[in-house]
Structures are given as structure tokens and as C-alpha cells.
Amino acid sequence: MTLADDLAYAVSLPRAPRRVVSLVPSITEALATSCPERLVGATDWCTHPSDLAVQRVRGTKNPDLKAIAALRPDLVVANKEENRELDVRRLRADGIPVWVTDIETVPGALDSLGRLFAEVLDLGTPDWLAAARNEWDQPVPEPCLDVAVAIWRDPWMAVGRDTFTGDLVARLGWRNVLAAHADRYPHVDVVDLDRDGLVVLLPDEPYVFTTDDGPEAFAHARTALVSGRLLTWYGPSLVGATAALTAAVPV
């Protein structure tokens, strides 16, 4: 069969893949939850589930292409934002099928994963995906809280326009004050965020903000330590995320 991935690239597969390498932590968790017997490789950044026992192939930006090839995968799953186009091209040049996802919204994530499981892997809709659709398939509410989502410090960076995280917080009823920024992940001055009426979300990834590292930079804005996985991962982590995040950030 030949199917078009999220970037409209034609991926030819002789059958539903049985040996899959994932270069995307979110999708690794989804595969390990739904079809662990098919997952044979993942990156060092693939931390969920905690007992994941597959061959590691280095990082998302510097995968070990020889190690991937040695696993004889039927399919490698990648993501436009998380992985390099150069690595995708090199894998394809070696005859390895690569399915590239492109995810910038919660509905887009659910649709993309739905296609991966139903059409590519021929597994139908996993229970967690159905539960996630039920949880997130709601109208976007009017914003009741202004937030900024920090992702790094020294230099400080935050979530800007057209991102999965930005769409997710909007669906929680929060307004990302940097949503109109020209950059997707802009560098920011703490002074510009340190104002009354704003909540600065401090996740534990990619930068590990803690009670002693992050909140002390703000004298006026409220801060909230939150799970980075709940903010940025798409997959089983979406189930229950609305309750967990809104509990962590009271209005």
C-alpha cells in the first residue's frame, strides 16, 4: 500500500509495519501503550512509559542512523518539528520508509495519530485515543486567564505562535500573551512578562524549572510549576490533562 504522510510524501509499505522505530517521544509513548510488540527502537529522550525497554538510537536531532538500520525497521516515525529533514532524507535514501507527522494543534495531533494507528499500522483506534478525543473535542472557550509558557532560561524563551502547546492552552481557556509573536519560540525579557494579572507557566521540560529555579525571577506575575509532558506531548498524556493542568493553575 502507498499512503501520504502529514507532509503529503508517498510512503510505500508492503504490509502494516511490524518493526517500528520512533524518533518522537510522544509517539513512542503512544506506540508502547498500544502495540509494544511492534516498537523496536526509540530515542534517548523517549522517557515514557518508564519501563520502556527498546534499543536506543540517540537523540531526536542526532539519531544514530546506522543503529536504526541495524534494527531492520519496517517504518520509522518522525515529526517535522522534532526531527531533522536531513536525517529523514538519509533514512529514505537507505530504503527505510519514514512516516513524518506535522502537528501544531490538539485536533491535528488526534487526527494524525488516528491515521497512523488506523491506516498505517492497521490497528484501529486505541482506547486512549478515543478517550482523548472525547476530552478535547470541545469548543474553544473564551479566555479567562492570561499566561506565558516558558521553555528555557538564560536566555529566557517562551511559546509563541502556531504551536501545539499554544493551541492546547487556548483549549483550557487560557490566553497565551505571546500567541501573536512573529516567532514560534521567541526569546523574551523577563521584565516584559513580570506583570500583575499574568501567570507564567514553568514546565519541567525541556528546561527543568523547579521551586528554586524559575519562580524567583518574577516579582509581580504569578508562576505555576506544571508538567511539561502534559503541555507539550501528544498521545496518552492527553487523557486527563485538562483536569491536571487546570488544578495546577487555579484561575
Q: What is the pLDDT of residues 120-141, one digit of tens each?
A: 999 999 999 999 999 999 899 9
* pLDDT confidence bin for 159, thresholds 50/70/90: very high
Are residue 87 and residue 191 in the same domain, yes or no? no
Q: What is the pLDDT of residues 163-173, one digit of tens each?
A: 999 999 999 99
In which domain, by residue range, is 171 found? 145-248
Which of the listed residues 135, 169, 199 is the one where a domain comes to its end? 135
In DSSP terms, 204 is beta-bridged to none
Chain mean pLDDT for the chain: 97
If 0-12 CB within 10 Å is exposed, 13-18 middle and 19+ buried, where does residue 42 land? buried
Are residue 131 and residue 25 in the same domain, yes or no? yes
* pLDDT confidence bin for 250, thresholds 50/70/90: confident
* pLDDT confidence bin for 251, thresholds 50/70/90: confident
Alpha carbon separation from 114 to 32, 33, 60, 163, 236 (Å, rounded): 15, 14, 22, 19, 12
Strands 98-101 and 145-152: unpaired
Are residue 16 and residue 62 in the same domain, yes or no? yes
Q: Number of folded domains in the chain?
A: 2
- For residue 101, tell me if it sits in a domain: yes
Q: Which DSSP helix (H) or strand (E) runs through 26?
A: helix 25-34
Q: What is the pLDDT of residues 3-30, one digit of tens each?
A: 999 999 999 999 999 999 999 999 999 9
Q: Sign of dihedral through CA atoms 53, 54, 58, 62?
A: negative
Closest-CA residue to 82 (of 242, 230, 233, 247) = 233
Kindly provide the b/e burial profile for residues 10-33, where b requires at least 16 CB atoms within 10 angstroms of the residue's own CB: ebebeeebeebbbbbbbbbbbbbb
pTM: 0.93
- For residue 209, tell me if it sits in a domain: yes
Are residue 164 and residue 240 in the same domain, yes or no? yes
Are residue 39 and residue 129 in the same domain, yes or no? yes
Give yes or no for a contact between 94 and 222, defined as CB atoms under 8 angstroms apart. no
Phi-psi region of 244 (alpha: psi -120 to 50; beta: other; left: phi over 0): alpha
Looking at residue 142, what is its pLDDT? 94
Which of the listed residues 135, 163, 189 is the one where a domain comes to its end? 135
- For residue 67, tell me if it sits in a domain: yes
Are residue 184 and residue 153 in the same domain, yes or no? yes
Q: What is the CATH number of the domain that holds 77?
A: 3.40.50.1980
- For residue 140, tell me if it sits in a domain: no
